[in-house]
Amino acid sequence: MGVSVSVLASGSRGNCAIVSSSSTRILLDAGISCRETFKRMKALGEDPHSFSAILVTHEHSDHIYGLQVLARKTNVAIFMTGATHQAWARSVRDEKGECPTLKKLEMFASGNVFQIGDIEVMPFTIPHDAADPVGFAFRTEGVKIGFATDLGYMPASVSYHLRHCDVLVLESNHDLEMLRGGPYPWSVKQRVMSRVGHLSNEALAQFFAKDYDGEAAYVVLAHLSEQNNHPEIARGAAERALAPRQTLLRNRVMLASQTVPLDPIRI
Ligand SMILES: [Zn+2]
Ligand SMILES: [Zn+2]
């Protein structure tokens, strides 16, 4: 079976991915409904009840929308930081001010490595306007997988955690020109462009050209804006930056989609 990565959904209408080893399967974010998560898993030939944990990057609804129902239906452990949990609990309080409980809640802290089955998980802080947002580096069976979406820029501390990855899933949110000339109100444009907003195609290309070690077999562009980006524009920007280091075995660019699950990448 080996190690695989699937992106079930990616973008501002919901994020969800799966990281699997031969014996452990982790759902990364629960931003689409439980029904849709199961439907997409089945479409990829995966058993919807086969994962052992759900990891949450941050409390924005495109990352947690399906969390409560998924937690109830699967009864697996939910991992998030304490501050993310508090922010999540505030956002899902009912009229009486009561918070639903997550039966199997596990807390982790950014920078502290932990283990889920045979997958080692390293959470690291990312610059984004949430309570305690994180990206993840996973290690299992000699393979390293890096995830970083929802970040306003690429700090050295994040590129450090993305070294020596075999698969990288990185945000390529918007084309700067499309965002500037696009339909969003100015305040939203400013938020997206800010240091705690989202990573542009141009900023990601700069990372590829300057800070990236070039070692990944696959680079997945994720969290693309539907209004302010186009898959071929994002791909073009990434491929131009990666071109000097693209070979048959290195730096193959793939695009995660909001609507269609990405075929599992097997390593
Ligand atoms: Zn976010
Ligand atoms: Zn998001």
Around ion ligand 1, residues with a beta carbon closer than 5 Å are 60, 150
| Least distant ligand from the CA of 171 | 2
d(CA 3, CA 24): 9
Q: Find the angle CA(150)-CA(154)-CA(160) to the nearest 5 degrees.
A: 115
Give residue 177 CA to ligand 1 midpoint distance, Å.
21
d(CA 179, CA 33): 28
Task: Record the pTM.
Answer: 0.97
Give residue 65 CA to ligand 2 midpoint distance, Å.
11
Torsion of CA 104, 7, 155, 66, to 10 degrees: -40
What string of pLDDT tens digits covers the 267 residues of the chain?
799 999 999 999 999 999 999 999 999 999 999 999 999 999 999 999 899 999 999 999 999 999 999 999 999 999 999 999 999 999 888 888 888 889 999 999 999 999 999 999 999 999 999 999 999 999 999 999 999 999 999 999 999 999 999 999 999 999 999 999 999 999 999 999 999 999 999 999 999 999 999 999 999 999 999 999 999 999 999 999 999 999 989 999 999 999 999 999 999
Give residue 193 CA to ligand 1 midpoint distance, Å.
13
Give residue 15 CA to ligand 2 midpoint distance, Å.
7
Q: Is the separation of the CB atoms in 51 and 40 below 8 Å?
A: no
Give residue 57 CA to ligand 2 midpoint distance, Å.
9
